[in-house]
Structure 1
């Protein structure tokens, strides 16, 4: 069996500071939490940043600068920068860091979606920051835009740098979008597909839907793809374990779930990485190192990014 890649999504643009004290929201805490996750066994770090003044999602290079170059020097993990940002960011703002740093990997959403977070607002009454509640409630009427034009423009800007993508597919139709873009020459096989499950507005997080996604991807991409699963919320560990048994890779992290088990908040990203690593090893999976992940995914190598130039 091929080795299994663990990705850790460190902070994201979904959870807000009120939801968990463990959520890293300053450059220092994001960098430290990412380093701990890498030390625990994550070979890829999926990275967003936040405004250090209030913890709001940000795409600004100056909010990546305090931790990204030092993280580059402190760990061998693949640094995978978001181009998704958060549902309320413009495509231009979401691309700034990826254009500046030219990383080995970037995430790339393969279709538009009503990325609905508004039910989360009903769980809280006291908020740490005044932006949190309107941000969450506003997603009821917000389309997270990723049109074919957006995808083409992102690929046109970033692909010449040699970046490879974590193609995030929130529903079956996004796989067909990706196939169309491949046929148009926007991307080159082999590709890395992230099945994003459990987000309200997208496909549900259950095994039947995972099988459906996998069968569809097999028909569309044959042997020319690698795949991974992230399950937002309570099914995070369960579907990750199943995906690894099926030959896929896995993603965990506080971006996708704030919990380590039902009703218990995770203490850190590293705690989640440690848990899934132990589960995978117990069921016979071998964990890929960062350099093995690079080989599996055909990445250009960390020396060929502009991140090291910032140290």
Structure 2
């Protein structure tokens, strides 16, 4: 599975459909079978003004929910993230209201895409569980537990074990740690029966003081750790079967 964010040429995060389309078309044209997982995270940040906190300061990226999933409807990947967090992050507040999440979930479902529910704390799981019980999300859902983001769930075995207990029975789930917690949480997640994730979005170091040259070297280290623990890595076909994904052709948009 490849999880995709896109950027403007100057490095700023982008939500432009043309940028997503270029990346997705290149991936689909490549002679490699991968499961494409597009982010819907950008577009949810608010920075309160110093003089009037009700007025957005520069750097605010809040967008209508329909805009945050327009690329999902147009490009129809097999997976996309759906962030359930509302929290302080860096200099901004990430806002994902139940109403906006419901709008996004409906667009994602209509596109035939499976949402990966990213949860950053226990309250996020409670909200996702309400969506499932209300029929706004299908079960079994796919959860991704995020550990180590400042002011979110801390990256400890105890935290991960507790958050796992809050997931609905039969859920598909994975977890990952941010920064130096990436590989310790990878091992802990496997031990608890979850799927794993690594990459430069979460951590830029291969080991202490050694920058990772690419996502590939992080993946290679992860594979080595998993195999030494007795695990194995799914092929794209096996991952589709495990997660109940249906490879689909994009509709014209």
TM-score over 0.5 for the pair: yes
Q: Distance in 1 between matches of 2:149 and 2:66?
A: 24
> Is 2:22 aligned against 1:48?
no
Structure 1 residue 148: deviation in Å? 0.3
Is 1:79 equivalent to 2:36 in the alignment? yes
8 Å CA contact retained: 1:114, 1:143 = yes
Paired with 1:155 and 1:305, the residues of 2 have a C-alpha distance of: 20
Could you say which residue in structure 2 is the equivalent of 1:211? 161
TM-score normalized by the length of structure 2 = 0.88
Between Structure 1 and Structure 2, how many residues are aligned? Answer: 235
- Shift, 1:92, TM fit: 4.2
Question: Kindly tell me: are residues 298 and 94 of structure 1, through their superposed partners in 2, closer, same or farther at Cα, counting changes over 3 Å?
Answer: same
* Contact residue 101 and residue 306 of structure 1 kept, 8 A: yes
* Distance (whole Å) between structure 1 residues aligned to residue 204 and residue 242 of structure 2: 29
In 2, the alpha carbon distance for the partners of 1:62 and 1:55 equals: 15
Structure 1: runs of 5 or more not aligned: 1-43, 117-138
Quick one: structure 1 residues 89 and 275, their matched pair in 2 at CA, closer, same or farther if it must change by over 3 Å?
farther
CA contact (8 A) 1:50 1:63 kept: yes
Is 1:188 the equivalent of 2:138? yes
**Deviation at residue 89 of structure 1 after TM alignment:** 4.4
Check 1:247–1:77 CA distance in 2 against 1; reply closer, same or farther (3 A cut). same
SS of 2:179's partner is coil
Deviations 1:227-266 (A, max 9, x none): 1111111110111111112111001100011111122211
Gaps of 5+ in 2: 46-60
User: 1:66: how far off?
Assistant: 2.6
Give the deviation of 1:115 after TM superposition: 2.0
Q: Relative CO higher for 1 or 2, CA cutoff 8 Å, sep ≥ 6? A: 1
Partner of 2:50: none
Q: Given the alignment, which residue of 75, 80, 83 partners 1:101?
A: 75
C-alpha spacing 1:305/1:107, structure 2 compared with 1 (3 Å): farther
RMSD: 1.6
Q: What is the correspondence of 1:147-162 to structure 2 with a 5 Å cutoff? A: 147-162=97-112
